[in-house]
Amino acid sequence: MKLIYPILANRQVLIILFIINLLGTIYGYIWYEPQFKVTPTIFLPFVPDSPTASLFFTIVLFAFILKKNWPLFEALAIVTLFKYGVWAVVMNVLTLIVTGSLPWQGYMLIISHGAMAIEGILYSPFYRIKLKHLVIVAIWTMHNDIIDYVFMQYPKYGALDIYVKEIGYFTFWLSVISLAIAYYCSIRKNRLRLPI
């Protein structure tokens, strides 16, 4: 596994990943446009979950390119990338199970969001996250769950709306797991330097 770290730290790789994540973030915000139109202004920052997660990681990559660490964004990135990456994969697979079909965009979302969940963890040895950063991210993450499933601003997957309570429960525990993974992967002494 350690053999991959020099590749991840390579400046050209960082720039390529920065561009890919930036374009994915822009596409993600465009994908949410129909929901933005029916969302009260006060909830807008909490609606586009996946593109905001990739935005956090894009900022992390930008910092790495500048040979810097921005730990709060690193914490936001690893937690939200894993959480919403896994969430979107599960929701699209459930849509396929419930409806018996999935448009090509659904398969694209499975692949892209699966990659999101992985990339945040792959870069974790380079993060400089401290416990205080994870506490802030825990508040943000749980608050976002409340906005989604108490104020009903969750991402709409039409065929799955009848399971919103179960999805909300799953999402809460996915938040807990994501925070635990971030703690395990990031708050440790064995850290690497970026970039090479």
Q: Tell whether 196 is covered by a domain.
A: no
pTM listed for this prediction? 0.92
Domain housing 17: 2-186
pLDDT in tens, 115-158: 999 999 999 999 999 999 999 999 999 999 999 999 998 887 77
- CA gap 189, 128 in Å, rounded: 10
Task: Quote the pLDDT of residue 42.
Answer: 93
Q: Tell whether 171 is covered by a domain.
A: yes
pLDDT band at 192 (very low <50, low <70, confident <90, very high): low
pLDDT band at 53 (very low <50, low <70, confident <90, very high): very high
Q: Tell whether 67 is covered by a domain.
A: yes
- CA gap 186, 122 in Å, rounded: 11
Q: Which residues of 78-113 are buried (b: 16+ CB within 10 A; e: fewer)?
A: bbbbbbbbbbbbbbbebbeeeeeeeeeebeebbebb
State the DSSP code for 159.
Answer: G
- Count the domains in the chain: 1
For the cut 80, the answer to whether the pLDDT of residue 17 exceeds it is yes
pLDDT band at 187 (very low <50, low <70, confident <90, very high): confident
Q: Tell whether 195 is covered by a domain.
A: no
For the cut 70, the answer to whether the pLDDT of residue 186 exceeds it is yes
pLDDT in tens, 54-79: 999 999 999 999 999 999 999 999 99
For the cut 80, the answer to whether the pLDDT of residue 196 exceeds it is no
Q: Tell whether 129 is covered by a domain.
A: yes
Q: Tell whether 192 is covered by a domain.
A: no
Q: Tell whether 194 is covered by a domain.
A: no
